[in-house]
């Protein structure tokens, strides 16, 4: 099955700085790469996703990039704010087989004022 590695496991940035979280995947058939955010004590929620037919996608302060050749994808958060503090999970799946996602182990992001 798909194996997703995520780095770093913890990340601390100052408010206003950028944060980058990187993931690698093993299955070249994977074509769907979502990112979920989980605030403390809450459920995970989708924040952005990308499919293998595009290399980059942006939504306001967050963006995701995908390098299919190298099998890695990254989440970029610009102008970080304290409310960005959360655990972020990447995942990868071959959507032709459904959406049973294999998640990375998560990155705990702390944004300090």
The residues binding other proteins (CB under 8 A) are: 1, 6, 9, 32, 34, 36, 43-46, 49, 89, 93, 95, 98-106
Name the residue among 82, 108, 100 with its Cα closest to residue 34.
100
21 strand-pairing partners: 75
| CA 35/CA 64 separation, integer angstroms | 9
Q: Which is nearer to other proteins, 4 or 14 (CB)?
A: 4
| CA 16/CA 102 separation, integer angstroms | 31
Q: Which is nearer to other proteins, 104 or 111 (CB)?
A: 104
Q: Least distance to other proteins from the beta carbon of 12, Å? A: 17
Q: Which is nearer to other proteins, 43 or 53 (CB)?
A: 43
Q: Least distance to other proteins from the beta carbon of 43, Å? A: 4
């Amino acid at each position: 099955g798909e194996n997703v590695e995520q780095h770093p496991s913890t990340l601390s940035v100052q408010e206003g700085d950028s944060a980058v979280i990187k993931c690698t995947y093993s299955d070249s058939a994977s074509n769907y790469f979502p990112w979920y955010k989980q605030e403390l004590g809450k459920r995970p929620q989708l924040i952005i996703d990308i499919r293998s037919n595009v290399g980059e996608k942006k939504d306001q302060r967050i963006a995701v990039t995908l390098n299919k050749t190298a099998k890695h994808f990254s989440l970029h958060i610009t102008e970080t704010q304290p409310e960005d503090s959360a655990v972020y999970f990447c995942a990868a799946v071959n959507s032709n087989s459904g959406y049973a996602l294999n998640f990375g182990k998560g990155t705990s992001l702390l944004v300090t004022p």
